[in-house]
Structures are given as structure tokens and as C-alpha cells.
Amino acid sequence: MLTNDSHRPVPEGVVLQEEQQVHEPSSGRGRRHGTSRSEPFDRWFRYPAGFASDYASLLLGELQLPTAGLVVDPFTGSGVTGTAARRAGHSFFGVEAHPLIAELAALKLRRSPRDPSELLVTARELAQQATTKMRVDISGEADLTLRSFDPETLALLVSLRDLIRAKQDQEWYLYLKWALLATLRDVASVRVGWPYQRPGTQRQPTFADPVSRFLQRVAWMADDIRDLEKYKSASLTCRVKQGDSAESENWSDIGNGSAHGCVTSPPYLNNFDYADATRLELYFWGDVTSWSQMCAEVRSDMLTATTQQSSVGAARDARISLQEYGAVGAQISELADQLQKERGNRARGKEYDRVLPDYFVAIARILGNLASVLVPGAPAVLLVGDSAPYGVYVDTPGLMAKLGAQLGFTLEKDVILRHRGKRWAGNATRHNVQLAERFVLLRRE
């Protein structure tokens, strides 16, 4: 059996690439936790994407899809697969659970309303008004917002926000909103990088002037929109549906057997909370005003991938549903048993045992929906990492492939792209394994 430099054997069927046995995708140019800072459209807002558009383009090129095909993504996020598909001349349909992020993806994939020079003119007018306006009252802002910026910066951000909100019925409204939302982390005076916002830890803002940074962001948007002319095709349609991709009705906008390929990056089983990760933007814009509202409204359509989302009832139901999936269902249940035992050994153990069944049942439903919309022979690429909560190794990509095999897919490739989580390797209290991000290629039968 092949081995890599980790403490565990390579899971059955996994191919190790090249001499150093790991292939670092040429994506994101230095990206660590999200979309590229420089690629067109990616740069509109940094989101933990799994891959950047240059890598998604590379993949789409290698999948040999038919000309002007339909590409789908059940975990659309900020729309990286969508923008890459459009650039390659394909239509796109994606489902994204996070309402704010679904709005961003849909915006990036919109046909441009008009000449973006108008966007620039409007932005400059708003910037002028924000800087000359009487200083606004910031005392009613959310605690996280107040703690994240120095008062002068926050006053300018709030001025801009209020001016933009007043333009809600105008066609450039969402572009202005997102240029401002993306400016927040650039000008914050506390740690606000991914994955978590740390309002207790001060830092030097990356950019001092929020207004000029906002205008810079608007200018990038205008450049990217203008560039769309190059690959505009009247017959292409790109759509994003906000909702849960495990629900078949969220796929009803496209017919069964209508899609030619899928490139996606599902949430990893690593306790990363996509709602919490965007707390700063949600609070600043006023979409949510409390943690409970965020859980109810932002997280509600997401699959369970964190212990915070888990519940006894959902886990019990999922255990029953797992029985539909034969040997792989039993394997997932066994892992959940091991995790339950590990939790019992700890004073305040986390409920990974409740996350696991719920997560994989949702993945199975999503793979089932994908199988319905893909044409026979279509490829589906999943980029996903494995995990090892409490040292119990969960071969997430391998288990997904096994579930796929029950739902009309054949596993064609399973390749390690890069090692990750190195800092935990060898740490007995965390993961005593070398984790990896993998590329899984399934083929619709």
C-alpha cells in the first residue's frame, strides 16, 4: 500500500501525485483561506472558497465539457465555479444556503445592467457626500461593529452605508453595497481575517482611508464588468438559487439530465461556521442583530458541519436514514459511535458524533439531486478535505465517493492536492494524523 509522509496509510484508491506526492493547485496566487485577492470577480469579496477561479477554470478545461454546456455547483458560495464556467462559455446553475453570500454570487453572475461608468460616477458622488456630511451617530451600531473600527473610520463607513441604502431601488445598489461590505475587513483595526473575527485583538488597518478603498473596489468591479463583454453570449444563463441543495425543489429551475458537469467544494467536517465567519458583514449591514437571529436566518439551510449546528433529534433521524446506504451507512454510524465514546471521555466534549450522521445524510441527498440533474457520463468534481476530530480519522472524500457509488456515480479519481492542518499533526490532543485536501472525480453512470 502507498504511504505518504503522514501517520496513516493512504486511504484505499487514493492516488498520490508526482515525486513529492502532493499537487498544490495553481489557484489563488498565495491564497490561504479563500478567493484570490487579484483575480477578476474573486476579488469582489474574500470568501473561504475551497478554490479560486483560475483553478476552477483549469478544472473545467480538463473536464472536456460540451461547448456552451451547463455547469452546476450545489455549494456555490461566492460563485467561483460560476464565474469560471461563464468565462469558459458555459451556463451555470448553483445553489447556496447562505443568503448574503448567495446574493454576492448572483451579483457576480449578473449580466451587467449598463455601462459601469455610471457605477463609478454614483460611487464618487456618494463618497463626496459621505466625507462632507455632518458626522453620523454611530452609538447604535452593533457591539462587534463598534469594536472593529476606530470611531472616525466607522463614521465614514456608516455614512456610506446609509447613503447606499437610500439607493435601494436603483440598479447599481447591490454593487455599491458589496464594494462597501468588502471594504470592512480592509479598514478594520482589529483582527478580522478568516476564519474568525477577533475584536479583542488590535491590528494596524491594512488600508487607512475607507472612502478611497471603497472607490478602489468599485473601480475593480467596473473593470471586471467591462471585461464581461469579451465572453458575453446571448444564449448563456447563469443563475444562483438561495436555499438548501439537499431539497430537490431547489433544483427545479433546471431539468433532470440537463447539466453537463459539476465542480464544487462542500463544507469540510472541520467545525468551520460559514454564518459566523460573515458576522461582521451581517451585523454591519443590519441583516441580523443577534446570534440567535443569525442561527435561525443565516444557517437554517446549511448542512450540519459544525457542533454548534448539531442536535440530538437530527442526529437520531440521520442515524436511521443512514441505514438506506448499506455498508457505507454502517461505516459512518461506526465512526459516530467512536466519536460518542471520545466525547464521553471528556468533561465537556464536543458533539462531533451528532454532526457526522447528519452531515453525510445531507451529502447523500445532495449527491442524489446531482445525479438527477446531470446527463449520463457527466463529471462531478468534489474538492474536500478529510478530518480527524478527537483523533478519529474521518475519510470525508472517500465516504462521499462511496455514497456517490450508491447514487449513480462511479469513482474515477481520488487525488491528494495538498496536505493541511500540519500544525495539528503529532499533537495527540488534536489530530494525530496528517490531513489532506483531495480532488475526487465522480462520473455519472
Give the interface with ligand SAM as residue ranges (CB under 6 A): 47, 49-50, 74-75, 77-80, 95-98, 101, 244-246, 265, 267, 274, 301-303, 362
Residue showing the smallest CB distance to ligand SAM in the complex: 77
Q: Specify whether the CB–CB gap between 70 and 259 falls below 8 A.
A: yes
Nearer to ligand SAM, 73 or 353 (CB): 73
CB of 47 to ligand SAM, least distance (A): 5
Nearer to ligand SAM, 97 or 339 (CB): 97
Helix then strand then coil, in percent of the chain rounded to 5, is 45, 15, 40
CB of 426 to ligand SAM, least distance (A): 27
CB of 41 to ligand SAM, least distance (A): 10
Write out the three cell numbers for 38: 487579484
What is the rounded (10 degree) CA torsion for 74, 75, 77, 80? -70
Amino acid of residue 410: T
Nearer to ligand SAM, 122 or 304 (CB): 304
CB of 239 to ligand SAM, least distance (A): 14
CB of 219 to ligand SAM, least distance (A): 22
H/E element, 91: strand 91-96
Strand ranges in 285-408 using DSSP code E only, listed in sequence order: 379-385
- At 321, phi and psi to the nearest 5? -60, -30
Nearer to ligand SAM, 161 or 438 (CB): 438
CB of 333 to ligand SAM, least distance (A): 21
b (16+ CB within 10 A) / e for 78-103: bbbbbbbbbbbebbbbbbbbbbbbbb
CB of 224 to ligand SAM, least distance (A): 15
CB of 405 to ligand SAM, least distance (A): 21
* CA separation for the pair 98, 297 (Å, rounded): 9
Q: Specify whether the CB–CB gap between 35 and 52 falls below 8 A.
A: yes
Sign of the dihedral defined by the CA atoms of residues 189, 194, 197, 199, in that order: negative
Please state, in angstroms and as integers, the Cα–Cα distance from residue 21 to each residue in 2, 5, 421, 436, following that order: 10, 9, 17, 12
Nearer to ligand SAM, 164 or 366 (CB): 366
Sign of the dihedral defined by the CA atoms of residues 66, 253, 58, 407, in that order: negative
* CA separation for the pair 22, 15 (Å, rounded): 10
CB of 299 to ligand SAM, least distance (A): 9
- Please report how many Cα atoms fall inside a 13 Å half-sphere around the Cα of residue 401, on the Cβ side: 27
H/E element, 105: helix 99-108
Strand ranges in 131-236 using DSSP code E only, listed in sequence order: 190-191, 198-202
Q: How many residues does the chain have?
A: 445
CB atoms inside a 10 Å sphere around CB 60: 24
Q: Specify whether the CB–CB gap between 59 and 212 falls below 8 A.
A: no
CB of 363 to ligand SAM, least distance (A): 9
Nearer to ligand SAM, 343 or 438 (CB): 438
What does the DSSP assignment read for 191-214?
E--SS--EEEEE---S-S-HHHHH
CB of 75 to ligand SAM, least distance (A): 3
